[in-house]
Structure 1
């Protein structure tokens, strides 16, 4: 099964994506987590496409070079939901199955809530319902400690500078032991010549 690179143009910018499967297949959108890209779904794309689904995994806002606004306020959850809708409209999908992992799971929850008529099914991995998470953050000290990174990482440009310092040592450490080495090298590089190699058969 050939996984292809795609570009999806919207009013918010151009989103890089990978996809596979017949154009007439039942559409599935896969949303990656942080700090990943659509490449993390390559094996799932291949498996779903082999069963006749049309599957697309975009690099979300901030990950696609063509959709990377500089202001923190341009990353509000409502705008990320708008991106999902815009991407699927550009793909010609009136309804679709939506899958999200980690931060992509949060975006998926909010998308399904805002657009129930568009989302045929919702599958969320490693991300609780936003209401349940909000309650736990108020009542569970351990969960507040575990989730504190979400506050720390809002500090810009300090977060980016720290993660990318010393040849992206801290960013690379996030992937160590979790993805194959090719993926570890591809993520810090962002959009690079290695992306094409990964799409064509190397694991993310």
Structure 2
């Protein structure tokens, strides 16, 4: 059974969803933009019922208790710090890390920065940041796919565009690939005061963040062929940035919203990955 919990840290209190008994295998799930921990509902239930202790926090800016104003407070270094602080608060020394979209970016960076603490990494949709940034620079297809970054980085303009007409711009991002009531929940959360600005500050802080190094922990990367934001060039290049055991899974006819559009398939891959790396 999924329960809502609060996780106090020095940065503030994170809202989170949890499933499974403490003492089970520790798994941390990181959501992406413009979502919340709720995107992991299926995985929380499946893993929690399979002997894991699974926690999915609403990340920095998405949790009202951790919503700083300065853009610099959303640098990747701060987000890695949140992962460590959340694990510390839960009493986890080592854990499996799973991330989707921006959550995957944090996952890649955290796994590179503190491999001693992360048992395995599962990155969903977003490739290794170095592969992604190189593709944005050198691959015309990826450059076209990433043009939306320009809008999202514009202060006040992005908020106005996305929230106009009852959040029609936010709703369009999902391309009607997930349940409407779930989209309603995400939009409602981001219409709270300063919530959308905080979420967009992740994009606005990108140029302030340092590079992500190679990842040595056992890694699963899941990419989908119908992802409109990530092309095959960056996806295929990701293996160059993983020095440890690596597995790449490609989902056919699935959009960017893998955890909700293909929950059974993703969870199957995730479970096999966890079982293959128990220590």
* Distance in structure 2 (CA, Å) of the matches to 1:157 and 1:83: 26
What SS does structure 1 have at the residue aligned with 2:121?
strand
Unaligned runs of 5+ in 2: 192-259, 262-279
* Distance in structure 2 (CA, Å) of the matches to 1:105 and 1:134: 14
Deviates more, 1:28-37 or 1:160-169: 160-169
Q: Is the Cα contact below 8 Å between 2:151 and 2:157 reproduced in 1? A: no
- Count, aligned residues: 193
Q: 2:170 maps to which residue? A: 171
* Distance in structure 1 (CA, Å) of the matches to 2:60 and 2:100: 15
Q: Aligned-pair distance for 1:166?
A: 1.6
Q: Is the Cα contact below 8 Å between 1:176 and 1:184 reproduced in 2? A: no
Unaligned runs of 5+ in 1: 193-202
Q: Aligned-pair distance for 1:154?
A: 1.5
* Distance in structure 1 (CA, Å) of the matches to 2:72 and 2:128: 23
Q: 2:84 maps to which residue? A: 85
Q: Aligned-pair distance for 1:170?
A: 0.9
Deviates more, 1:130-139 or 1:109-118: 130-139
Q: 1:52 maps to which residue? A: 51
Q: 2:208 maps to which residue? A: none
Q: 1:132 maps to which residue? A: 131
Q: 1:34 maps to which residue? A: 33
What SS does structure 2 have at the residue aligned with 1:28?
strand
Q: Does 2:107 match 1:102?
A: no
Q: 2:253 maps to which residue? A: none
Q: 2:183 maps to which residue? A: 184
* Distance in structure 2 (CA, Å) of the matches to 1:161 and 1:71: 19
Q: 1:75 to 1:88 in 2, by over 3 A?
A: same
Q: Aligned-pair distance for 1:174?
A: 2.0
Q: Is the Cα contact below 8 Å between 1:20 and 1:54 reproduced in 2? A: yes
Q: Is the Cα contact below 8 Å between 2:31 and 2:40 reproduced in 1? A: yes
Deviates more, 1:166-175 or 1:51-60: 166-175
Q: Aligned-pair distance for 1:38?
A: 0.5
Q: Aligned-pair distance for 1:146?
A: 0.7
Q: 2:154 maps to which residue? A: 155
